[in-house]
Structure 1
Amino acid sequence: MTKVVILDDYQHVARDMVDWSSVEARCQIEVLHEHIADRAALAARLAGAEVVVAMRERTVFDACMLDRLPDLRLLITTGMVNKSIDIAAAHARGVTVCGTPGGGPSAAELAFGLILALARRIPQEADGLRNGDPQWQTGLGVDLAGKVLGIVGFGRLGMMMVRYGTAFGMDCVAWSRSLTKEDATSQGIRRADSLEDLLSQSDFVTLHLPLTPATTGVIGRAQLDLMKPSAFLVNTSRGPLVEEAALLDALETGAIRGAGLDVYDIEPLSTGHPYRSAPGLIAVPHIGYVTEDTYRNYFTGAVDAIIGWLDGAPVRVLAP
């Protein structure tokens, strides 16, 4: 019987989100609830698996890892893009790579949620009330109306941020290498002349860039120094877009007022990582896509991909 392994089901929900009966009738399903970072240990757990369902980009399937999985024939990624999978190496080894539906508003909604949480000090005030010392109104928040929302990267999620910011009365400005003034005008926003221009005028900066060699470390100390001392930075895209040491120093010294993070250089974030105690930082454990609606899309797509592959007609195949 075909062995299927589902990776990284942290919430123990994979089997409950959708109907797996069509797969269960033809396959043996195993679910791993903890992330296995050690590659040798992961290869041992995946021994004999012909089908693996990977959760986003948590696990690297490069040529070396694929060589350790000689039985693998179908690798499914949640979503339609996964830079942690060497698709060309998979195809060369006879492994079909399929994606699933996804791409909803959940990541953009979280980004704006972090903006609200930073502006109104929601975690701090809730903790103060719960802990009781101090218990009532521990600081001052800021209004969003009239503030400048700087959007770095202007793809699908960046466009969503414009709608959210505009609904709250914010003045939206965007920058990306491909954004023209005409395109910005058609979206009802301003285009910054440069990243530096955007950083210097924004009260809130939100990052929506892919991780590439050109964007790695795009926000470092020089960029943070351009921001207002009253400004906030939000990153829900990829951890390495922001230089960790530079952000920690900016928070410690008050170079910026605060930050909201959902992504990190290495995940899960280590227990002793300084982000866990940095002043002015709201950090959440990469939950941008972790919603009931998104997971139903992911796992419905995974079921469809497995059945399609078993029937000799794989769906949503990702080409090298």
Structure 2
Amino acid sequence: MRIAVLDDYQSAFDQLAAARRLRGDDAVAGHEVVTFTDSVTGSALVERLSGFDAVVLLQQRTPFPRSVVEGLDTLRLVSQTGRNTGHLDLEAFAECGITVCAGGAGSAATTAELTWGLVLASLRHLPEEVARLRAGQWQGSVGTSVEGKTLGVWAYGRIGSRVAEVGRAFGMDVVCWGRAGSLARAADAGFAVAGSKEEFFSSADVLTLHLPLNDGTSGIVTAGDLALMKPSALLVNTSRAGIVEPGALAAAVSAGRPGRAAVDVFEDEPVLGAADPLIGLPGITATPHLGYVEWDVLESLYSAAVDQVLAFAAGTPINLATP
């Protein structure tokens, strides 16, 4: 088969064992693989995939609405890493006779690690101080410690639980919020539970979001919630930008509540030319969706995608995603 690997920004795929299995360096597979390091959408995506039998997608980097799916003239397989298919029109794929396979999982550890990297980088002004030192200058800011401060964790799940444990190790007062099951697990682990959503937002010195994005969580963090936060507080989002009401975070930081934010996710990705308003705001520490971008995680994700391609080629598709 002729296979496209989309959005391989760092040209990482060819450095992985998964790529060698797919290309047939071990004389087993022997498929033709073409990787793309940039992102395209709409008609450009349709044109790019013309002539390919299969496409490998990394997480939710490329959306496939019906308008794109109906233009795909040769594609027979979509191999998606991870089980999240919200960016794929599964009904359109089914109607067009294109198989979608979605399987594998990333690591909670890497996103939790990045969350803490963003917390410390923001509170200790590390990006600014690194830039000052490289520019030949010395200290220009005073940082804030996390010890003794209140850490708010929304969603005590695979990632939130790790973030909470690190907060406790740093000597923070950890307070959790979320659905009933999440709060029960947090309480069982010895963490405090906020009495209300209003209390959760108003009491936190650092507040981290770890909810999945779905119909029930889209825009769940509102402008009103953010307005309750302290001027000295930091909001951190390494989950999905869509869980915050569109435009609310930029407006809130501009208004000074919260005073700072650290984000790894944006409403429209990839963000090129610093086009997102968050990036240019003082008080914002931003990274380009790096939560899962780590060698072991990429190997695991792409390995699952390659398994799906090889199974499809053998006539026994796995991890089928249906409408």
TM over 0.5: yes
Structure 2 gap segments, 5+ residues each: 25-29
- How far off its partner does 1:19 sit? 4.5
Residue 261 of structure 1 aligns with which residue? 263
Once the two structures are superposed, residues 57-93 of structure 1 have per-residue CA deviations (whole angstroms, 9 ceiling, x without a partner) of 1211233322111322211112222310123432343
> Cα–Cα, structure 1 residues 277 and 182, in superposed 2: closer, same or farther, change >3 Å?
closer
Question: 1:179-258 counterparts in 2 under 5 A?
Answer: 179=181, 182-243=184-245, 245-258=247-260
Q: CA contact under 8 A between 1:179 and 1:191: conserved in structure 2?
A: no
Q: TM-score, normalised by structure 2?
A: 0.91
Residue 3 of structure 1 aligns with which residue? 2
Deviates more, 1:178-187 or 1:3-12: 178-187
Identity %: 37
- Equivalent residue letter for 2:114: L
Q: CA contact under 8 A between 2:18 and 2:302: conserved in structure 1?
A: no
Question: 1:51-66 counterparts in 2 under 5 A?
Answer: 51-66=54-69
CA distance in structure 1 between the partners assigned to 2:130 and 2:45 by the alignment: 39
Structure 1 gap segments, 5+ residues each: none
Q: How well do the aligned residues superpose, as a CA RMSD in angstroms?
A: 1.9
Question: 1:13-92 counterparts in 2 under 5 A?
Answer: 13-25=12-24, 26-37=30-41, 39-92=42-95
Q: TM-score, normalised by structure 1?
A: 0.92
Residue 283 of structure 1 aligns with which residue? 286
- Equivalent residue letter for 2:144: V
Structure 2 residue matching 1:75: 3-state secondary structure: strand
> Cα–Cα, structure 1 residues 248 and 295, in superposed 2: closer, same or farther, change >3 Å?
same
Structure 1 residue matching 2:153: 3-state secondary structure: strand
Once the two structures are superposed, residues 169-212 of structure 1 have per-residue CA deviations (whole angstroms, 9 ceiling, x without a partner) of 21111111233654332121112123222101111111111223
Question: 1:130-169 counterparts in 2 under 5 A?
Answer: 130-132=134-136, 135-169=137-171
CA distance in structure 1 between the partners assigned to 2:209 and 2:20 by the alignment: 40
Q: CA contact under 8 A between 1:228 and 1:256: conserved in structure 2?
A: yes
Residue 178 of structure 2 aligns with which residue? 176
- How far off its partner does 1:244 sit? 5.0
CA distance in structure 1 between the partners assigned to 2:322 and 2:192 by the alignment: 36
Once the two structures are superposed, residues 15-53 of structure 1 have per-residue CA deviations (whole angstroms, 9 ceiling, x without a partner) of 11225344324322111111013x111101101222100
Once the two structures are superposed, residues 279-300 of structure 1 have per-residue CA deviations (whole angstroms, 9 ceiling, x without a partner) of 1100111111111111111222
> Cα–Cα, structure 1 residues 233 and 92, in superposed 2: closer, same or farther, change >3 Å?
same
